[in-house]
Amino acid sequence: MRKPAWIRVKAPTSAGFSRTNKIVKDKGLVTVCQEAACPNIGECWEKAHATFMILGDTCTRACAFCNVKTGLPEAVDHQEAQKIAEAVVEMGLKHVVITSVDRDDLDDGGADHFVNVINAIRKSSPATTIEILTPDFLRKEGAVETVIDAKPDVFNHNLETVPRLYLKIRPGARYYHSMRLLERVKERDPNQFTKSGLMVGLGETKQEVMQVMDDMRSAGIDFLTIGQYLQPTRKHAPIDRFVTPDEFKAYETIARAKGFLMVSATPLTRSSYHADSDFEKLRAARLAS
């Protein structure tokens, strides 16, 4: 399906992009920007905004929308936390986003490693705010509580799509488990911001999206992101349609009316797109509420 004009981006060529690329490469780090073929990589890396992906580049799940490779992951790199902390300092990040692959092979799903990364960043760059985008820790008892207690500034876990499409798009995940995870964050630490995201253009209806919004608000989620699904390869789930910018504006209006503190809804919106400036808006919205 041919991309409409509003979804096209320029190829990354700036000096800032090259500098960020060099830091990531020299330290042997993995970013979701590269692994997920994010369309915003040029814009973000020009500003030295990279989303670090911990626990390797190989996922134990095989979601139909995701470009990250699937297979048996390598052993956990116990130096990774320090390398990321050094990169945060070198890049001068005021806000950093940390995500990971699913690690169903680990007893805790990688929860302790998230904590190690958070602690390393806090030690070397205490003024930097930390946003995490976690897997669902399915069947990993106590894992989510371990990460909550590390007190990230934002706890993000993406619902990705509507419940009806889970078996097709997220076959290894469970919609209500993911929703419960986000609700658990608020129960254990009401001061932590929670965040979740949806892709549209996979065949969902407007009514289904609005129901997910209601479910999210019932779970106390503060920040919602909605973006256009883009098919990474022919092997992945096909695009049902391109949602228009006006439809995204309508979703934003509806979401704000439902009580979200912060909403980002555009065709190119991704979980960590403009995460630094959005965090400041989110914090200001809480103070104003």
Scanning the structure block, which residue is given the tokens 């993000």? 156
Residue 139 lies in a domain: yes
Indicate if the pLDDT at residue 275 is higher than 90.
no
Q: Which whole number is the average pLDDT over 155-161?
A: 98
Domain harbouring 79, CATH code: 3.20.20.70
Q: Residue 248's CB: how many other CB atoms inside 10 A?
A: 21
Residue 159: which domain range?
Answer: 8-288
pLDDT of residue 103: 97
In this structure, the chain runs to a length of 289
Residue 1 lies in a domain: no
Backbone angles phi, psi at 135, to 5 degrees: -70, -175
Q: Name the pLDDT band for 24 (thresholds 50, 70, 90).
A: confident
pTM: 0.94
Residue 3 lies in a domain: no
Residues 6 or more apart in contact with residue 71 via CB below 8 angstroms: 58, 59
Residues 6 or more apart in contact with residue 54 via CB below 8 angstroms: 30, 80, 81, 84, 98, 99, 100, 110, 113, 114, 117
Residue 2 lies in a domain: no
Q: Which whole number is the average pLDDT over 203-230?
A: 97
pLDDT of residue 11: 62
Average per-residue pLDDT for the chain: 93
The number of domains in the chain is 1
CA distances from 23 to 39, 49, 66, 79, 158 (A): 20, 12, 25, 16, 28
90-114 pLDDT, tens per residue?
989 999 999 999 999 999 999 999 9
Contact 272, 278 (CB under 8 A): no
